[in-house]
Structure 1
Amino acid sequence: MKKFTINSTIDNTKLNCIDFHPSMKNPKCVIQIIHGMAEYINRYAPLAEYFNDLNIKVIGMDLRGHGKTGQNINQLGHISDYDGHTKIVEDTYDLNYWIQKRYPNSKKFILGHSFGSIILLNYLFKYHETIDGAIVCGSPGFASIKEKMSNKLSFFLAKHQGPQYINDKINKMAFSSANKKIKKNRTEWDWLNNNNNEVDKYIADPLCGFKCSNSFFYNLTTLIIKMSQAENIDLIPRDKKILFISGKEDPIGGYGNKNYKVVNYYKKNNFQNIELKLYNGMRHEILLENDREDVFQDIYNFINNV
């Protein structure tokens, strides 16, 4: 594992990155990871280890407001005031460009989990030609009334309380119903994973599960709204290869239903290479579940067929 930094071209923010396989010089392909909300890139080490043996390089960065990128400037949970939804997509391109320059002969893929999946779908509208395929993991689906109302509320709160202010109520609202289908709740984060050890590690980690700023929720919901708009989806080539993956017990994805609706919309609009895989018994963090290697194998099969 090699740590390195790149500077954002949009405002020169230092972005902390990891190459999980620095000794791999001629990879078959490169998977760029966009991690989720309130976590960081190091948590994707199990996925990286699996693909190391297959000559597939994994690279990712700590997003703005997350991991070392956020911690180093004392801004965990805050990506930017009102234009974070633009900056975070451009940051993704900056790392992709870094990868392109160093591995011109390798195929390029991006895997985005949860918040990362939202960023990835927005990335495809502008930079679809930079990758050979996309893996959309743990996506929340298209914007509902809830996200649209949250967008207006978080903008109002950012204007009146301040964009960096941490509002406990809006943080609580974000996942208030996530555990409702779990009969015996052990912790408030049980919805993340069936693997209690992984849940406990998440809870104990100061770089996970932190509260986010008013403007974080504004930028998050803005990205969800943008990824749901037909005029943006129309910007993606109809032959772009996209794999959607989610747990059937994942409340963020509507227990599979939200992802099904998204994929169905894409297919009805003549997208030719869209796949959906739902995993029985898995919750939100399918890349850290007990049977995660089943997911890894499906990702490998998808990559191999591109």
Structure 2
Amino acid sequence: MSHDRPALPDASVLDSLTGAALRLYRSRPAGRPRLVLLILHGLAEHAGRYARVMEELAAHGVASYAHDQRGHGSTTAQDAPLRRFASRHGASKIVRDTQAVRLRAEADHPGIPIVVLGHSMGGLVALNFARTFGSGLAGLLVWNSNFDTGPSVAAGRLALRTERALKGSDVASAVFARATFESWAKSVPGARTPVDWLTHDATVVDRYIADPLCGWTPTVSMAEDVIELIRAASRETNLADLPRELPIHCLGGSEDPATRGGAAVERLAERLRHAGSRRVETLIVRGARHETLNETEPMRGRAIAALHAFLASVSAD
């Protein structure tokens, strides 16, 4: 595959009603788009890493928007320095920021269907966004996200409370790092780097390591907000808030430690159906690690094909 770094899409600053100045990237096809895709990036990365897929989408008639979420990239907010969503109500604010991007996309492209794709942490935000602001959405893709709750999450919440009491809320969370990044790093036999769990593509891994805006440990505050996003969208009564006819696509990789090899993705799809969602698709890409959009071929090709097929199906509705 080519490892040329694509040029970043058009960048601007979008003021959200939450008080955040969102760094927003936009990519548009030459003519009128047939669809608009909002892309929500994962934890400890930024929207600029999605330039390649945004460029590819434009070539297929799809406009795309991706913003640096609170505490990430070049987005700024008085209550959200790097590695923190907000001093209070961070989980709610990060969802409302997505609505600000949606409203901008609707203003730019009136009458064009809008779909949301969230990767990993972005999937947590995307599903909570669709619960709250899902009316009128044409589709939702929740990729590589883990919404599992249970004893481990309950124990994690308690450990984070203890860590906050001892160290404060704005320090890097050793508890979160041990339970996630450090644990996932051990899942790859003979790993070359601590982040080989992201993808088989060594070039992508090396760029991630070299990027000062990637790979950091969230604060205790951000870790608590991430758990709140998981818990909020895990309650069946909350999942029932989703529009029942909203097309939803869940995707994971069979070698992704963050989703237990895709088992958490399949579990989410089951819970969505049980809560009343009538149009849920699931795909587990065999061999893929966490970043399916950054995988080597043929795994990335399967993910891209699934994305285009889903977008074609919802644009035809």
Work out the CA distance in 1 between the residues paired with 2:285 and 2:115.
22
Check if 1:14 corresponds to 2:28: no
> Does the 8 A contact of 2:20 with 2:77 survive in 1?
no
Correspondence for 1:163 among 158, 169, 175: 169
TM-score for both structures, normalised by structure 1: 0.94
SS in structure 1 opposite 2:185?
coil
Moved more, 1-10 or 26-35: 1-10
- Cα gap change, 1:225 to 1:169, in 2 (>3 Å): closer
Work out the CA distance in 2 between the residues paired with 1:120 and 1:227.
10
Q: Tell me which amino acid in the other structure corresponds to 1:20.
A: S
Check if 1:298 corresponds to 2:306: yes
Work out the CA distance in 2 between the residues paired with 1:268 and 1:121.
16
> Does the 8 A contact of 2:72 with 2:83 survive in 1?
yes
Work out the CA distance in 1 between the residues paired with 2:116 and 2:130.
10
SS in structure 2 opposite 1:246?
strand
Work out the CA distance in 2 between the residues paired with 1:279 and 1:71.
37
Work out the CA distance in 1 between the residues paired with 2:20 and 2:269.
35
Correspondence for 1:198 among 204, 211, 234: 204
Question: Over aligned residue pairs, what C-alpha RMSD do you find?
Answer: 1.9
Task: Kindly report which structure 2 residues correspond to 1:22-101, keeping only aligned pairs within 5 A, or say none.
Answer: 24=30, 26-70=32-76, 75-101=81-107
> Does the 8 A contact of 1:20 with 1:48 survive in 2?
yes
SS in structure 2 opposite 1:112?
strand
Moved more, 60-69 or 263-272: 263-272
Q: Tell me which amino acid in the other structure corresponds to 1:17.
A: L
Q: Tell me which amino acid in the other structure corresponds to 2:312.
A: N
* Number of residue-to-residue matches in the alignment: 304
Q: Aligned residues: percent identity?
A: 26
TM-score for both structures, normalised by structure 2: 0.90
Work out the CA distance in 2 between the residues paired with 1:173 and 1:263.
24
SS in structure 1 opposite 2:42?
coil
Q: What are the ranges of 5 or more consecutive residues in structure 1 without an aligned counterpart?
A: none
Task: Kindly report which structure 2 residues correspond to 1:233-248, keeping only aligned pairs within 5 A, or say none.
Answer: 233-248=239-254
Correspondence for 1:259 among 237, 244, 265: 265
> Does the 8 A contact of 1:82 with 1:218 survive in 2?
no
Check if 1:118 corresponds to 2:128: no
Work out the CA distance in 1 between the residues paired with 2:296 and 2:77.
30
Check if 1:5 corresponds to 2:42: no
Q: Tell me which amino acid in the other structure corresponds to 1:18.
A: Y
Check if 1:286 corresponds to 2:288: no
Work out the CA distance in 1 between the residues paired with 2:254 and 2:313.
25
Q: What are the ranges of 5 or more consecutive residues in structure 2 without an aligned counterpart?
A: 1-8
- Cα gap change, 1:165 to 1:104, in 2 (>3 Å): same
SS in structure 2 opposite 1:281?
coil
SS in structure 1 opposite 2:261?
helix
> Does the 8 A contact of 1:142 with 1:227 survive in 2?
no
Work out the CA distance in 1 between the residues paired with 2:266 and 2:87.
33
